[in-house]
Amino acid sequence: MLNITAARRAKRSSVELNMAPLIDMVFILLIFFLVNTSFVKESGIEVNRPSAATARIQQKTAITIGIDKENRIFMENREIDVRAVRANIERALAENPEGGVVVVSDKLSKAGVIISVMDGCRLAGAQNISLAATVPTK
């Protein structure tokens, strides 16, 4: 009787699940999604954009600057001064040299402020500067 019990115990092999390949696969998926994700930094304000018949959708936008109807300038969810636009754009372009700048302004913002912001972007070295607009509905 003792030999039969020992034989049954020997036949029972514990089934183990090897977790190493599963963990490797999870890390590979994580790296894949991090590499293929584009991080867009918003200006941080809601504006009423003007409409333009020639407006085009831009696929790659790295840097967004917002100007509200009180002519306050916002970048990365914080208010900045018009004199600080150049330094902020230089810092953002150091992180992403190929990035373009999109100026999102309200309909009621002054043209002088928009020009000052765009001038600061150009002085910072930005090559692609766009002014955001909405496509009019037909």
pLDDT by residue, tens only, the chain of 138 residues: 556 666 666 666 666 778 888 899 999 999 988 887 766 555 556 666 666 666 666 666 678 899 988 999 998 888 999 999 999 999 988 888 887 888 888 888 898 999 999 999 999 998 888 888 777 766
Residue pair 79/106 in contact by the 8 Å Cβ criterion? no
Sheet holding 101-105, edge to edge: 78-80, 73-75, 63-67, 101-105, 129-131
The yes/no answer on whether domain 39-138 falls in CATH 3.30.420.270 is yes
Residue pair 45/77 in contact by the 8 Å Cβ criterion? no
Q: Where are the domains of the chain?
A: 39-138
Does the global pTM surpass 0.85? no
Q: What's the CA gap between 11 and 21, in Å, rounded? A: 27
